[in-house]
Chain A
């Protein structure tokens, strides 16, 4: 439970992103550990100092009024020419392509996690059906009438579907956002 600067729980604790049980565990430890108490206190000071410093950084009070006056001086926007449209589209497309790549790249760790879990599930199912249930092997084989490779293939297919469903549910907000942003 000892905390240090490299522990992600320290920052999560500062930001109140831990579960109630995790917070309790940390606070129980802090009650008994002066060293960690000192670290957390210092981290809270740094965090509060930064939050208060940046709270003073705002646009000036008359910013909006000056902006709208400038927009009046520019005049009402005219329909874009084909060249301007093409220029804007090219600029946006290169950014969208980069953000598309970022989106899929960001999903890769989650997808790999699910692939790992489902592979483990498929291997476990195979081992269970052929070793742990050895006593009932004869009856099972008769009842199912499936060769081992077919069993494994079915288990892998079920696990892959489960993986896809789990990823889609976990990422539904991102998928919805991606569809609204980039799908035609």
Chain B
């Protein structure tokens, strides 16, 4: 954790200790909301759902602020709540009956949505990234998503996922290794932009 983050966390703790929950929460949102969003996105892989889940997580933290006594670091506490909330949501979704992912209308909709999610003018390039990610095992997909969202910081990925640094490095290495092999194998996975 860098010095700036440490002193920001210390400031939040002081506000909490003084009972100033509102200001502490506003600083907390400033400091952590994007990271929590990244974690939610790495699990849900949909921006809207990730945003809704991030709001749920942060509201849960808001309600739980009086229960935080500084026993763990603030980031550990927040990321733990975030992970548990995301996992609970994933379990709920897997228990619900869903539309088949292989219905043509659903796939077409997802294709359009994925294309809209990139600001790249050539929508095919954004789709290629998603196609490549689909080929990875879930744990690699999640780690590599967070790796790029967190500007390639192994430490942040480890903190968000509660994984040791060595494990994070191994997963990222294997994920990138597979992505490179996949992108070289098949023309449909090529990142050469078609006109």
Which residues of A are at the interface with B, using a C-beta cutoff of 8 A? Answer: 5-6, 8, 11, 15, 42-43, 45-47, 49-54, 56-60, 63-64, 66-68, 70-71, 74, 76-80, 84-85, 88, 91-92, 95-96, 98-99, 102-103, 105-106, 109, 177, 180-182
B14 nearest CB across to chain A (Å): 16
CA distance A106 to B84 in the complex (A): 22
Q: State whether B164 touches A74 (Cβ < 8 A).
A: no
Supplied contacts A57-B117, A64-B30, A95-B80, 20 more A-B pairs, CB within 8 Å: A49-B125, A50-B129, A53-B118, A53-B148, A59-B51, A63-B51, A66-B55, A67-B59, A68-B26, A70-B59, A74-B62, A74-B63, A77-B21, A88-B64, A91-B80, A95-B84, A95-B162, A99-B76, A103-B164, A105-B164
Q: Helix, strand, loop or mixed for chain A's interface?
A: helix
Find out whether the CB atom of B67 lies under 8 angstroms from the CB atom of A106. no
Q: Mark B43-74, 1 if CB is under 8 A from A, else 0.
A: 00001000100110011001111110001110
Q: Which residues of B contact A58 (CB under 8 A)?
A: 34, 37
Kindly state the interface size class of chain B when it binds its partner: 35 or more
8 intermolecular pairs with C-beta atoms under 8 Å apart: A5-B181, A42-B183, A46-B179, A59-B37, A59-B54, A64-B30, A74-B59, A92-B80
Closest 9 CB pairs of A and B: A106-B164, A80-B67, A54-B148, A53-B129, A56-B119, A95-B80, A79-B66, A5-B180, A59-B37
**Which positions in B face A, CB cutoff 8 Å?**
1, 21-22, 25-26, 29-30, 33-34, 37-38, 41, 47, 51, 54-55, 58-59, 62-67, 71-73, 76-77, 80, 83-84, 117-120, 125-126, 128-129, 144-145, 148-149, 152, 162-167, 172-173, 176-177, 179-181, 183-184, 191
